[in-house]
């Protein structure tokens, strides 16, 4: 039987604060034992502070005090999208009562232009004040602003300082991003053992990005002892949390029965989920499963559709090109029509 070939992942780093797309090289189906050869690197993504989605426009008149008398009015207003209300309340607390959490909130609102005009300089000012008072969220946010050069020139040394301080106080996002710097070896000396320690902390705290990255460490024996079972368990956890890259890797492990019990149906279901989230590598692997006889029901039209979509995203596949060439004109037309519909050009 032909297996899905796992994607070997070697950790590398993008500039923190920048968006990243998965860069996985499609590989032909082969014995999984040969997976470590001739595979390009995979970029593990940094996790910047995540601005909240914008709900309905702010309306201060609609703000209501929470039921709990001791509830945080600032955060309550923020959660409901009442950003101007959150800003006014936070400013009062920050200036009159010197509340660090209120200062951090002001930094968040200024950085994302919520309830106030975006101003990175003022965001840094408020985060700095909160960080100096020991607020770990402010330390992390300040580090990400410093390293990305928002509000001033990039300052990686300052960013490392604040990431380390935030991680020491238990902030998993800070630990994860600090691990990336140790993996990169440019800002900090490359140290995979230290990176693994930081990733383990962030993974235990529930970070799906850290779980996925640590899974690759266990898979390759990078910075710690190789352990395929632990790798797959971490992939499963990250997959359940919605990490698309982990969904693909976990699906391949399930399909091959590598580090876990073989479950082809569950694997195909996960590949479909990731493919629908525009993961080109998932689209490629799903196409292979559906077009060829891999022990699951074939669906040539759908498989060729996913091949077209993966190829459009730069994930070509000579074997699937051959399958497309051997398809009947009617099959090709149906697959192309389905691909155009998916892309919204029909």
The DSSP line for 290-340 is: HHTTSSS---HHHHHHHHHHHHHTT---HHHHHHHHHS-HHHHHHHHHHHH
pLDDT of the residue at 62 = 38
Q: What is the pLDDT of residue 25?
A: 24
Predicted pLDDT of residue 266: 96
Average of per-residue pLDDT across 210-222: 97
Instruction: Give the chain's mean pLDDT.
Output: 84
pLDDT tier, 41 (very low <50, low <70, confident <90, very high otherwise): very low
Model confidence pLDDT, tens digit, residues 70-90: 348 999 999 999 999 999 999
* pLDDT, mean of residues 17-35: 26
Mean pLDDT in residue range 141-158: 94
Lowest mean pLDDT among 55-64, 209-218, 320-329: 55-64
Of 56-60, 227-231, 325-329, give the lowest mean pLDDT range: 56-60
pLDDT (average), residues 106-115: 97
Write the CB contacts of 304 (distance below 8 Å, at least 6 apart in sequence): 287, 291, 320, 323, 324, 327, 331, 332, 335
Domains in the chain (CATH in brackets) are 60-169 (1.25.40.10), 212-343 (1.25.40.10)
Residues linked to residue 44 through DSSP beta bridges, in sequence order: 13
The whole-number pLDDT of residue 72 equals: 82
Backbone angles phi, psi at 13, to 5 degrees: -135, 140
The band of 295, judged by pLDDT with boundaries at 50, 70 and 90, is confident
Cβ neighbours around 335 below 10 Å, total = 24
- pLDDT band at residue 297 using 50, 70 and 90 as cut-offs: confident
pLDDT confidence tier of residue 10, bands split at 50, 70 and 90:
very low
Least confident segment among 12-16, 87-91, 210-214, 237-241: 12-16
Model confidence pLDDT, tens digit, residues 300-343: 999 999 999 999 999 999 999 999 999 999 999 999 999 999 99
Tokens at 71, concatenated: 């509830």
Contact 9, 216 (CB under 8 A): yes
Which is more confidently placed, 224 or 12?
224
Percent of the chain scored above 70 by pLDDT?
A: 79
pLDDT band at residue 6 using 50, 70 and 90 as cut-offs? low
| 91-97 long-range Cβ contacts below 8 angstroms, 24+ apart | 94/126, 94/129
pLDDT range class, residue 296, cuts 50, 70, 90: confident
């Amino acid at each position: 039987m032909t297996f899905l070939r796992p994607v070997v992942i070697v950790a590398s780093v993008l500039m923190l604060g920048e968006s990243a797309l998965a860069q996985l090289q499609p590989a032909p189906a082969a014995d999984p034992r040969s997976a470590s050869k001739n595979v390009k690197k995979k970029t593990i993504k940094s996790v910047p502070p995540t601005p909240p989605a914008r709900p309905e426009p702010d309306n201060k008149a609609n703000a209501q005090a929470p039921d709990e008398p001791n509830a945080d009015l600032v955060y309550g207003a923020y959660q409901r999208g009442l950003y101007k209300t959150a800003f006014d309340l936070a400013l009062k607390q920050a200036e009159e009562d010197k509340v660090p959490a209120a200062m951090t909130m002001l930094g968040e609102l200024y950085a994302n232009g919520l309830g106030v005009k975006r101003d990175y300089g003022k965001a840094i000012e408020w985060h700095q004040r909160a960080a100096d008072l020991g607020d770990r969220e402010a330390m992390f946010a300040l580090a990400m602003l410093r390293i990305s050069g928002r509000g001033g020139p990039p300052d990686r040394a300052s960013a490392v300082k604040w990431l380390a301080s935030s991680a020491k106080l238990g902030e998993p996002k800070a630990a994860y991003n600090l691990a990336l710097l140790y993996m990169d070896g440019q800002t900090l000396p490359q140290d995979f053992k230290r990176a693994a320690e930081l990733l383990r902390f962030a993974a235990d705290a529930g970070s799906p990005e850290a779980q996925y990255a640590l899974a690759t460490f266990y898979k390759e024996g990078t910075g710690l002892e190789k352990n395929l079972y632990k790798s797959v368990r971490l992939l499963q956890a990250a997959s359940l949390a919605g990490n698309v890259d982990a969904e693909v890797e976990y699906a391949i492990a399930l399909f091959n029965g590598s580090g876990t019990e073989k479950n082809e149906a569950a694997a195909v279901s996960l590949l479909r989920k990731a493919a629908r989230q525009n993961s080109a590598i998932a689209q490629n692997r799903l196409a292979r499963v559906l077009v060829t006889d891999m022990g699951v029901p074939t669906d040539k039209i759908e498989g060729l559709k996913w091949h077209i979509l993966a190829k459009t995203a730069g994930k070509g596949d000579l074997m699937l090109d051959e399958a497309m060439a051997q398809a009947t004109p009617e099959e090709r037309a149906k697959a192309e029509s389905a691909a155009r519909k998916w892309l919204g050009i029909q």
